[in-house]
Amino acid sequence: MIRLRKPISALFALILLCATVLLAAPECRLGSPRLSAESRPEAQGPAPSVIMFIGDGMGFGHIEAARVAAAAAGRSLTVDSMPVRSRVRTLSYADYITDSAAAATAMATGHKTINSFVGVDSEMQPVTTILEAVREAGGLTALVTNGAITGATTGAFAAHVDDRQSEHEIAAALVSTRPDVMFGGGYANFAPSLSENEESAIERAMQAGYRVVRTVEGLVSASTLPLLGLFAEADFRFAADRDPVAEPSLAQMTARAIELLTGEAAMGRNFFLLVENDLIDAASHEHDVERMVSEVLELDDAVSVGLEFARSHRNTLVLVVADHDTGAVELLADGQVRFGSDDHTAQLVPLFAEGPGQERFSVDSIDNTEIARIMAEVIGVKVGDPVVAP
């Protein structure tokens, strides 16, 4: 059941809150944490790498509200420094209004699909994702989220099921697909269940060679691949409520993923990294302006980490996009933020691009399926082919 908040307060109160949070929490500020010098090899491999950021539910209104709050705190949004901007059409196969599963599947495979389907086309045929294609071509891959790693968005890049709620099945599929790095919540979907007779996903992961970490300390100290970090039973807490000792920030996880994907064990291979902020959507469903804006800023901090790397490794494409709009957020002339909906909408959503192939996104609007195809062409792989069962 979606829980609605009381009427939205004036934006100046929001600005004061965000400014206080930004000034009081150094680990969440723009540009932190920084990548260590040791993780910066002199050159990437011949094939480009891709870092893709998805703000779940993040529409243009969300970004505008965060832009105003950031300016009041004396900073600008990192995404505003990116040279290419566009708009994305998000409708799913059978509906003008998509869910995260169908939208992520479109961006991962180039196929429209039915809402709730994950990594399969409209006929329930499993189709190759960009993550799988990069891995098959010898590259490294990673999934990072502050939601459950078994959620619809991250699941659509590495699993093939017809129901996004089948998160135990998605957990097993993630282990089988074997991304080199997985950071997020969702430990409950990997853990042994009394109702299951077969091995749990966490047991399968360890048998497959994954080191499993559950603390921020473990995140920092782990240095081998593959690595599975599960820092919450389900989703993380909102950034405004997060205990930084118990749960890492999205920027911390992004920086660590890049370090691992480009360290000595990577041997110069290219990579595909997906980073999602799942909690923008959650706050928008609840009409919680303060936490919604805080989560957009949390994503923007992670983008700063990705761009820092990419701007010293010119063979890396960085994309920032939303899967859909949630809430129809509007910034009013009197300084208030208004929600026009408590659910997903059919509004076009923002896209920002920088790096090799950025010109392909320099159009007025683009369908979400084209994102998968362009990424695949840039990185030199093919997506969307039927998955052949082993």
| Residues with catalytic function | 100
The H-assigned helical ranges of the chain are 11-24, 60-72, 100-109, 130-136, 152-155, 167-177, 187-190, 201-207, 216-221, 250-261, 279-285, 289-310, 368-379
* CA atoms of 275 and 369, how far apart (whole Å): 18
Which sign does the torsion angle of CA 80, 81, 86, 92 carry? negative
Query: Do residues 236 and 279 make contact, with C-beta atoms less than 8 angstroms apart?
Result: yes
Query: Do residues 106 and 368 make contact, with C-beta atoms less than 8 angstroms apart?
Result: yes
Query: Do residues 344 and 336 make contact, with C-beta atoms less than 8 angstroms apart?
Result: no
CA distances from 131 to 107, 154, 270, 302 (A): 11, 10, 12, 20
Query: Do residues 177 and 158 make contact, with C-beta atoms less than 8 angstroms apart?
Result: yes
- Number of neighbours of residue 91 by Cβ within 10 angstroms: 17
